[in-house]
Structure 1
Amino acid sequence: MRQPNNEIKHYVEQKNYPYKELLENFTEAIYVISLQGKFIDYNRGFTSLVGPGEKYLNTDFLNIVHPDDIELAKSGFVETLDGKVLKEERLRIFAYDGQVKTIITSKVPLLGKEGELVGILGIAKDITVEVGLQSQIQQQYNRFRSLDKNSSSVNCILSETGEVMYQSPSVEKVLGYKPDEIRRPFISFVHPEDEDMVRARFAYLLAHPTEPQTLDVRLLHKDGNWRIIHVLSNNLMEDPDIQGIVINYHDVTEMRQAQQKIRYMAYHDHLTGLPNRRLFEERVQEELMSAKLESRKLAVILLDIDRFKFINDTLGHAIGDKVLKELAQMLGALVSETDVVARMAGDEFLILIPALTSTDYVETLAKAILKRLEAPIIVDHYELFVTGSIGITIYPESGEDLSHLIKNADLAMYAAKKSKLNSYKLFSPAMERASFKHFELQNDLRKAIHSDEFELYYQPKVRSHTRQIVGAEALIRWNHPTRGIVSPGEFIPLAEESGLIVPLGEWVLENVCKQIRKWEAKGYPAIVVSLNFSALQMLQKGLVDTVEAILDEHNVAGESIEIEITESLILNDDSDLLKKLEQLRELGIRIAIDDFGTGYSSLSYLTKYKFNTIKLDRSFIHDIHTSPDNQAIIKFIIQLSNQLKMKVVAEGVELEEQLAHLVEMNCDEIQGFLFSKPLPVGQFERLL
């Protein structure tokens, strides 16, 4: 620094340097620095900038300069001392409260009367706010540029002719191109199959500027692959800052592929790959609309594989699944390209024939399917023979909407199944009437339980040698209010199908117990009453507890009851069934196997289940007096039963000749029209 100058000291002390009063009232900060670099004077603008005036007098001006700007301040000071006018030097300084402020300062040499340098005159302007705003703007701009570069979306501006005027840097991330590599027309990146659609949408956007366009389009990636791009476009031709078509797009390839996969899974059968019922029904709805407009026909075929459950139960579901796959391929090979094959559920398949010219085609197809099913299906070295039942409906004769077409195809399929295996049926209105009757009867059956419309008949069982009544079988009858007596063969299958057999069975047991108590009160001789239990009854949870509760409620000994189960029920060799039979036997209840000889059970079941009674099926008794073979079989069964201490009851005895053979073979009891048909309670009591 130079030595102090006496003249500037005089100026300062006398406050008489040029324009002193004018400078004092300036809003900008005006200050004077001595040749030694100390503040020797400043105006009110300076104190407004940095703080109270007295604090800075005779202090080094570098004390308020930010450390990072000190070298710059020194350099400016030296240059000014050398006579140079310093314009708009930008510095950061500390105010009295420690706040950092940014200033722009200009410095000029201060000369004495003789023209000698006496100090430096400086003018400073506070630009802290402007710098802050500029910093925010720059930060926002940098953020925008970073987003524009690293975004997964691309912003693009096209001219009216489709030329790319701007492409955000993120295009490199999305499509692999640098922005300057994508200046050619946008349409040149579009997949050839999508070009017409894109041109049409672009033209529409130009003609309707207020209607944004959204679409998926395939664009060419730099690596040569086609990517699925979701595009949103807006017409901003009238915007003076844009003057173009603004397009925002991003890659949705993986998302669309995932959506397609999910849709495929939702609309296709996972096992066979065929369309599922949902997709099939949507296709039928579409074709129905077209058929109505074009006055044409269509057909729906429902194929059900007969006894498919047997394959699953005997060979396992893995084999069953392979059979279904083979069937799916077989159906696909038999239908035309326009037909649709779907898997409805389980072992049922649906076929849509959308353009039916005549019923001959659909019947020919049905016959071809059934013919193909006559050949064996080879799966894992198994040679399997399956048959099918086919129901056919035709629009508009068999129904005019989806629900009726499928429902009526189902009715036709069941009609085919009832007629014979491996057959087909065209729907007819008679099937619907029969189905409605079936439905109506099932509804009436539900009401009948609560309306006390049932009655028990009793068919006596007599000792074969003495013809003395020793028991009876309770048989349910339905007195329908309008139809009269309904055959058990008609309503028992309905009860089993609907699950009503369970409450119906409880009703039978309860009323049998009531009747036994009445007979005891009237002094009739004690007899054992047998009643049939269906498979559904035997499988119900809490069966034994229910039976025990009914016996206790009516104070009836278990020894008065015999439960008959069919031979087919024990084929599954169910340990739970064996346990239930043992628990029922512990209550004193007798167990009988009904219709013995009609099934395929092993004789070992006779010892395993420890039956009390074997009932010979009427098919053996029918020709016992004329068939030596049946005589031999029955004689063997009776002898075996005697050895196992089981009672034998012969059903369906109608002739004295039949009875004579049974007596000779030592059969214990008989039941049949020879002695009595099933009777109402009053008539049965007269026999007793």
Structure 2
Amino acid sequence: MKCPPIPPDEIQRLQALAAYGLSTDRPLPSLDPVVQIAARMFGMPVAAVNMIGNDHVFFAASTGVGEVDMCRDVSFCAHAILENDVMVIPDSHLDDRFSDNPLVTGAANLRFYAGVPLLSPDGYALGALCVIDGQPREFTDEDCERLRELAKMTVDRLELRRIELSLEKARPSFEEFARNSPTAVVWFDEHRKIVNWNQAAAALHGYALEEGNGMLADVLMPECARPLFQELVHEAVLKGTFDGLPIPETIYGLRKDGTEFQLGLSLFCWQERGQLVFNAHLQDISAKKREEAELYRLANTDPLTALANRACLYREVERLLALGTPTSVLMIDLDGFKDLNDTLGHAVGDAILCEVARRLESVIGKTGLAARIGCDEFAVLLPDTSDPTWVQCMAQTIIDQIGTPLRIDDHTIRVTASCGFATAPEHAEEALELISNADLALFRAKRLGGAQTFMYVNLLRMEAVARHLYGLELQRALHQGEFVLFYQPQIRLSDNSLAGAEALLRWRHPERGLLSPAAFLPALQSGPLAATVGTWVLDEACAQAAEWMRYGVSHFRMGVNLFGAQFRMDDLASRVISALDRHGLPPEALELEITEDIVLDHDDLVLKSLQLLRDKGVGVAFDDFGTGYASLSLLKRYPLSRIKIDRSFVQGMIASPQDKTVIAAVLDMADAFKLETIAEGIETEEQRSALFAIGCAEGQGYLFSRPLPATEFAEIYDIASPLQQRA
């Protein structure tokens, strides 16, 4: 366990904390609503305002907290106060600082933690507002922003506490304190007669300033609230303080004209010249309550479609299953939505999503809950039913309804959807498992070709486990050096001389032998190792190219395929430049190959990184050109140096005039954009001659060579080391 370090300003921090007069025996009731809102907002069982003392911690407010170790050394919040922002621990079992912490291994079972420091006006960390769960959780940037907003509310209420204590020590006169304060302040005596009030208090209740003196404070609230107020003042007179009394956070206030409003009430009491003086801070919190309701709505609603969001769906499924209610979950994904969005524009795409949401609600009516849980992914929750035949019928109705053509602007659009569903208790007894199983059924429905429905079966879970095990194999392959690069030559069609090579990934599996990319690349690209393997490929290919160039190969370039995940890394351009410098390879000897999918998935990131690399002299080739939707527009926007003509056109160009025409058109466009070209998949001399005749400069394919290990490549193209040359 890693104990939290003591901050360098510890003495000043503890002095700042002492100014609030808080301790284990003196919590702050005004903070209770904050932790309750936090627990509801994030769907967490535990929320707390935790103050960090010298060697212990204590709760200023909490909800859902049981018996816990209050030692500072084990406190997560003692770590959080050292952060400048929200500290999130998605799974404490996976964090070296906390995996053996008693709060993690003991009865508390703390698995998830998110906490934000609470700072004094001078910037000293007093403690943290935190939310806690006994299971791992995700916490988005939006969640962090909401927690920060609640922390601001917490700090405001702490400041009220500090002001109260400072007033008890050195109470300024009413004129000094409240005359121009924007806070509505009323002073009254033990008989509840108003001694003075400020302009803000008079205006809040619709009176002139001079009307307040001598008036009973009771008239500031409706008759139904007065007995509680009178009892509170009576108790405070007996105790000499309001501390420990159950002051309601909200009551109703009454204006002079008889209108009522939600009133936030804070009451204070102190001795002044031997007599008790009472002070009330008043606030019209109607707008605040509306804001809290809006925050709750935002936390549970998709902003585009106004459907429930993922978090709301999960909580409702969890609630139903806890009650033992038969429940079905349908996961729905729009087929080909990305292409529609890219082709017709995001405005039309958003309109499609809103119309799909409306159609979902029209199908299910008030019988269930519709949610948007991803870009083009929706879900439907159907309580009180687990009959697979009925759910299948509902799924098909949804698919049919979504598939009805819709009219948006000047476009008539037909959207198809796939649906997978699972039922409880037949397929799951826990919310996360039920939703996951429905998602697996959706995955199978998509693989069937779209516009299909599929009910979860146990085989789907077994297949998912197999994919997971395959992912573990990929991790082993990376760490044990089972990945290797083969090289396919790129040839000048004019004289069959070597122009370069494309580095191609292979897997030397210890049991299955040498595997081609078709056997593992889809799993690798969609998994967490894509960026790491891509970095290894880049470094290995640069090293090999630099070695061959040192052996005398001139005017040579190395083509390296990029994974989309590499653009999500910290800085792709810096990594590429670093690899070039590390191996002494000139930038023009490297050509990075990208596909349309990569560009469309990471548009802004790709454009920025590639522009930086082109400025350095690195080549950029557009692979599989002509097979997608957006290829022509990409020629204008992206800093390309070469177009790779897809093998599907090359294979058909002799028998198909249309394919040959497409290639000729691509060559003309490349010439207009001053781009180089290379044709893939050349297998016959006839194809090579035809390509050269219509202006294609380079090619690669089995006519010249299959992909080869580096040693065989060097032998065929007579690349010898200086030692071999001397021999």
Deviations 1:456-515 (A, max 9, x none): 001122333544443221101123445544442454444443464333233222212322
Whether the aligned pair in 2 keeps the contact of 1:492 and 1:501 (CA below 8 Å) is: no
The CA deviation at 1:616 is 1.4
Q: Per the alignment, do residues 451 and 639 of structure 1 end up closer, same or farther by CA in structure 2, a change over 3 Å counting?
A: same
Corresponding residue of 1:287? 320
Corresponding residue of 1:437? 466
In structure 2, C-alpha distance between the alignment counterparts of 1:604 and 1:324, rounded to whole Å: 25
In structure 1, C-alpha distance between the alignment counterparts of 2:372 and 2:304, rounded to whole Å: 9
CA RMSD, 1 decimal: 4.9
The CA deviation at 1:679 is 1.6
In structure 2, C-alpha distance between the alignment counterparts of 1:535 and 1:288, rounded to whole Å: 39
The CA deviation at 1:602 is 6.3
Determine which of 425, 428, 431 is the counterpart of 2:457.
Answer: 428
Corresponding residue of 1:683? 712
TM-score by length of 2: 0.55
Corresponding residue of 1:5? none
Aligned ranges 1:236-255 → 2 under 5 Å: none
Aligned ranges 1:161-240 → 2 under 5 Å: 176=223
Corresponding residue of 1:470? 499
Q: Per the alignment, do residues 170 and 419 of structure 1 end up closer, same or farther by CA in structure 2, a change over 3 Å counting?
A: same
In structure 1, C-alpha distance between the alignment counterparts of 2:261 and 2:676, rounded to whole Å: 82
In structure 1, C-alpha distance between the alignment counterparts of 2:661 and 2:225, rounded to whole Å: 98
1:591 aligns with 2:620: yes
In structure 2, C-alpha distance between the alignment counterparts of 1:596 and 1:530, rounded to whole Å: 16
> Aligned partner of 1:411: which letter?
L
Whether the aligned pair in 1 keeps the contact of 2:596 and 2:631 (CA below 8 Å) is: no
Corresponding residue of 2:205? none
In structure 2, C-alpha distance between the alignment counterparts of 1:329 and 1:461, rounded to whole Å: 53
Whether the aligned pair in 1 keeps the contact of 2:621 and 2:644 (CA below 8 Å) is: yes
Whether the aligned pair in 1 keeps the contact of 2:564 and 2:602 (CA below 8 Å) is: no
Greater displacement, 414-423 / 305-314: 305-314
Aligned ranges 1:489-528 → 2 under 5 Å: 489=518, 491-498=520-527, 500-520=529-549, 527-528=556-557
Q: Per the alignment, do residues 526 and 322 of structure 1 end up closer, same or farther by CA in structure 2, a change over 3 Å counting?
A: closer
Corresponding residue of 1:237? none
Q: Per the alignment, do residues 498 and 143 of structure 1 end up closer, same or farther by CA in structure 2, a change over 3 Å counting?
A: same
> Aligned partner of 1:350: which letter?
A
Determine which of 572, 586, 605 is the counterpart of 1:557.
Answer: 586
Whether the aligned pair in 1 keeps the contact of 2:484 and 2:505 (CA below 8 Å) is: yes
Whether the aligned pair in 2 keeps the contact of 1:302 and 1:348 (CA below 8 Å) is: yes
The CA deviation at 1:606 is 5.2
Corresponding residue of 2:485? 456
Q: Per the alignment, do residues 538 and 339 of structure 1 end up closer, same or farther by CA in structure 2, a change over 3 Å counting?
A: closer
Deviations 1:281-314 (A, max 9, x none): 34323432444xxxx8431112233454566666
Corresponding residue of 1:86? none
Corresponding residue of 2:691? 662
1:621 aligns with 2:650: yes
SS at match of 2:696: coil
Corresponding residue of 2:724? none
Q: Per the alignment, do residues 393 and 520 of structure 1 end up closer, same or farther by CA in structure 2, a change over 3 Å counting?
A: same
Q: Per the alignment, do residues 560 and 383 of structure 1 end up closer, same or farther by CA in structure 2, a change over 3 Å counting?
A: same
Q: Per the alignment, do residues 224 and 381 of structure 1 end up closer, same or farther by CA in structure 2, a change over 3 Å counting?
A: farther
The CA deviation at 1:673 is 1.9
> Aligned partner of 2:585: which letter?
V
1:417 aligns with 2:440: no
Q: Per the alignment, do residues 395 and 486 of structure 1 end up closer, same or farther by CA in structure 2, a change over 3 Å counting?
A: farther
Q: Per the alignment, do residues 371 and 225 of structure 1 end up closer, same or farther by CA in structure 2, a change over 3 Å counting?
A: farther
1:371 aligns with 2:404: no
Aligned ranges 1:564-575 → 2 under 5 Å: 564-567=593-596
Whether the aligned pair in 1 keeps the contact of 2:506 and 2:517 (CA below 8 Å) is: yes
In structure 1, C-alpha distance between the alignment counterparts of 2:261 and 2:618, rounded to whole Å: 76
In structure 2, C-alpha distance between the alignment counterparts of 1:573 and 1:289, rounded to whole Å: 41
Aligned ranges 1:123-138 → 2 under 5 Å: none
Deviations 1:645-681 (A, max 9, x none): 6543221122343334334435333311233221222
Whether the aligned pair in 1 keeps the contact of 2:192 and 2:218 (CA below 8 Å) is: no
Whether the aligned pair in 1 keeps the contact of 2:192 and 2:217 (CA below 8 Å) is: no
In structure 1, C-alpha distance between the alignment counterparts of 2:429 and 2:649, rounded to whole Å: 52
In structure 2, C-alpha distance between the alignment counterparts of 1:573 and 1:265, rounded to whole Å: 27
In structure 1, C-alpha distance between the alignment counterparts of 2:662 and 2:290, rounded to whole Å: 69
1:530 aligns with 2:530: no
The CA deviation at 1:355 is 2.3
The CA deviation at 1:356 is 2.2
> Aligned partner of 2:427: which letter?
S
In structure 1, C-alpha distance between the alignment counterparts of 2:219 and 2:636, rounded to whole Å: 83
**Higher-Rg member (1/2):** 1
In structure 2, C-alpha distance between the alignment counterparts of 1:506 and 1:539, rounded to whole Å: 12
Corresponding residue of 1:331? 360
> Aligned partner of 2:429: which letter?
E
Whether the aligned pair in 2 keeps the contact of 1:527 and 1:560 (CA below 8 Å) is: yes
Corresponding residue of 2:682? 653
Deviations 1:64-120 (A, max 9, x none): xxxxxxxxxxxxxxxxxxxxxxxxxxxxxxxxxxxxxxxxxxxxxxxxxxxxxxxxx
> Aligned partner of 2:382: which letter?
I
SS at match of 1:472: strand
TM-score by length of 1: 0.58
Greater displacement, 603-612 / 521-530: 603-612
Determine which of 281, 302, 306 is the counterpart of 2:331.
Answer: 302
The CA deviation at 1:383 is 4.1
Deviations 1:147-192 (A, max 9, x none): 9xxxxxxxxxxxxxxxxxxxxx99987655899xxxxxxxxxxxxx
Q: Per the alignment, do residues 253 and 311 of structure 1 end up closer, same or farther by CA in structure 2, a change over 3 Å counting?
A: same
Q: Per the alignment, do residues 258 and 658 of structure 1 end up closer, same or farther by CA in structure 2, a change over 3 Å counting?
A: closer
In structure 1, C-alpha distance between the alignment counterparts of 2:609 and 2:192, rounded to whole Å: 80
In structure 2, C-alpha distance between the alignment counterparts of 1:403 and 1:604, rounded to whole Å: 42
Q: Per the alignment, do residues 576 and 259 of structure 1 end up closer, same or farther by CA in structure 2, a change over 3 Å counting?
A: closer
Aligned ranges 1:254-265 → 2 under 5 Å: none
> Aligned partner of 2:318: which letter?
Q
In structure 1, C-alpha distance between the alignment counterparts of 2:294 and 2:657, rounded to whole Å: 68
In structure 1, C-alpha distance between the alignment counterparts of 2:576 and 2:290, rounded to whole Å: 60
The CA deviation at 1:330 is 2.0
Corresponding residue of 1:340? 369
In structure 2, C-alpha distance between the alignment counterparts of 1:616 and 1:399, rounded to whole Å: 49
The CA deviation at 1:359 is 1.1
What runs of 5+ residues in structure 2 fail to find an aligned partner?
1-188, 195-215, 227-245, 264-283, 718-727
Whether the aligned pair in 2 keeps the contact of 1:284 and 1:402 (CA below 8 Å) is: yes
Q: Per the alignment, do residues 333 and 643 of structure 1 end up closer, same or farther by CA in structure 2, a change over 3 Å counting?
A: closer
In structure 2, C-alpha distance between the alignment counterparts of 1:280 and 1:379, rounded to whole Å: 29
Identity of aligned residues (%): 34
Whether the aligned pair in 2 keeps the contact of 1:171 and 1:177 (CA below 8 Å) is: no
Whether the aligned pair in 2 keeps the contact of 1:461 and 1:469 (CA below 8 Å) is: yes
